[in-house]
Amino acid sequence: MDRLRVERTPIPGLLVVRLPVHHDDRGWFKENWQREKMVALGLPDFGPVQNNMSFNATRGATRGIHTEPWDKFVSVAAGKVFAAWVDMRAGDSFGATFWTEIDEDVAVFVPRGVGNSYQALENGTVYAYLVNHHYVAGRAYPALNLADATAAIPWPIPLDSADVEISAKDRANPILADVTPMAPKKTLITGCHGQLGQALALLHPGATLVDLAELDLTDTAALAAWPWEDYDLVLNAAAYTAVDRAETPEGRVDAWAANATAPAALARIAAEHGITVVHYSSDYVFDGSPVAGGHREDAALSPLGVYGQTKAAGDLAVAGTPRHYILRTSWVIGDGPNFVRTMARLAADGASPTVVSDQIGRLTFTAELARASRHLVDTGAPYGTYNVTNSGTPRSWADYARRVFELTGHDPARVRAVTTEEYAADKHVSPRPLHSTLALDKLAGTGFVSTDADEALAAYLRG
């Protein structure tokens, strides 16, 4: 065979790889695992960390059906096997089967939760497999009896033959009806009590929800004790957002811990365990210089204050983990105290607020940010940084305040405009970027259709 091919099977995610093998009088040579070529053809970039070999002295040695919570890439280094797989994952495909022979020109990618087994068809068979997690001692995983009638695997050498050797442990494995399916890996949402965390939880039912009290991302011991092998997605909504307090000695320490140190620790863990991280950034990583069409994802970072500096540092740390989405956003509005609710309350109270009119950007409702997060993960969009805000015409804070007054039945003329410099006079505040509009082209290129900020504002106020 002179062409590398990847074929799908009836088991979702189980892929047969046809390998080019180069023969000569000495034997043969093959590229058993070639990351660049195989990933380009649809194999997951599963990040193997261990290579195991199983030597089978005689024809008829039979092993399985074993299910572990990691991915495998199986092949033979010598001889030939009849291999069979049974889907042991919870869901519609539970119990699905597939089998084939594997010799030097066949390999198979076996996803987490699919039971793996084989029977040696030749003496001296060497069965090899790459795995992307190390074995965890003391944990039990689903297994299935090799003779299960439901799976009905057609073993070439009958299991009751004198030529077949099966371990006592494998002979004692349960039938399919008695197997507890393997649950999928879990999603972790940090900062779950914040406005964004609450919105994310609505779109990820069943996720593990943690805040600082449940999991302190700056606590080395707490991180080491967490069962990261059970997770494949972390939505990191934890952040220090007290922008002005970040300029104080105490706030500076807290901001760096939450916005830079914690994401860096999370990035290291994600790289080690093959976890996808969704991390949330801010327009404050830019200095607010005017940019036609808005700041793009690849623009140079240029934060003005401590908050922006810590968020930029967190971005750089997370960008170093292989599977990451950094969602850069601005002017976030969700379920909790925020600018829109403050303006609505002031309008109802008969107040005439003073609001800055020279900071320009777009609102981002947490429902939009959560929806974009889910879209990027579910569609398998390329990893990287994406700007996420609601769409539409960029406006000033004063413009949005007037719109809130108007939508709640009050006179928008009661909102008095002021410059940022005037507002900050005699106050200890962080510098603000004046131009916070973020370009949304990259996100749109993934198929995501952003909701207009004015429409979202009206819907938010309707409740």
Report the alpha-carbon distance of residue 248 to residue 160 in Å, rounded. 76
- Supply angle C-alpha 133, 138, 142, rounded to 5: 70
Rounded to whole angstroms, what are the CA distances from 417 to 195, 244, 281, 344, 421?
A: 28, 21, 28, 17, 12
In three-state secondary structure terms, 232 is strand
Q: What is the tally of helices (H) and strands (E) in the chain?
A: 13, 24
Burial zone of 261 (CB within 10 Å; 0-12 exposed, 13-18 middle, 19+ buried): middle
* Short-list 441, 439, 459, 438, CA closest to 449: 441
Q: Is 66 a catalytic residue?
A: yes
Any catalytic annotation for residue 129? yes
Could you write out the DSSP letters of every residue in 9-76? -SSTT-EEEEPPEEEETTEEEE-S--HHHHHHTT-------EEEEEEE-STTBEEEEE--SS-EEEEE
Q: Which amino acid is at 436?
A: S
135, exposed or middle or buried, with CB in 10 Å at 0-12, 13-18, 19+? exposed
Name residue 40's amino acid.
Answer: A
- Asked whether the beta carbons of 366 and 199 are under 8 A apart, the reply is yes
Q: Which helix (H) or strand (E) holds 256?
A: helix 249-256
Catalytic residue among 118, 127, 129, 386: 129
Measured CA to CA, the distance from residue 270 to residue 432 in angstroms comes to 32
Question: What is the four-CA torsion angle of 369, 373, 378, 379, rounded to 10 degrees?
Answer: 80
Catalytic residues, which ones? 66, 129
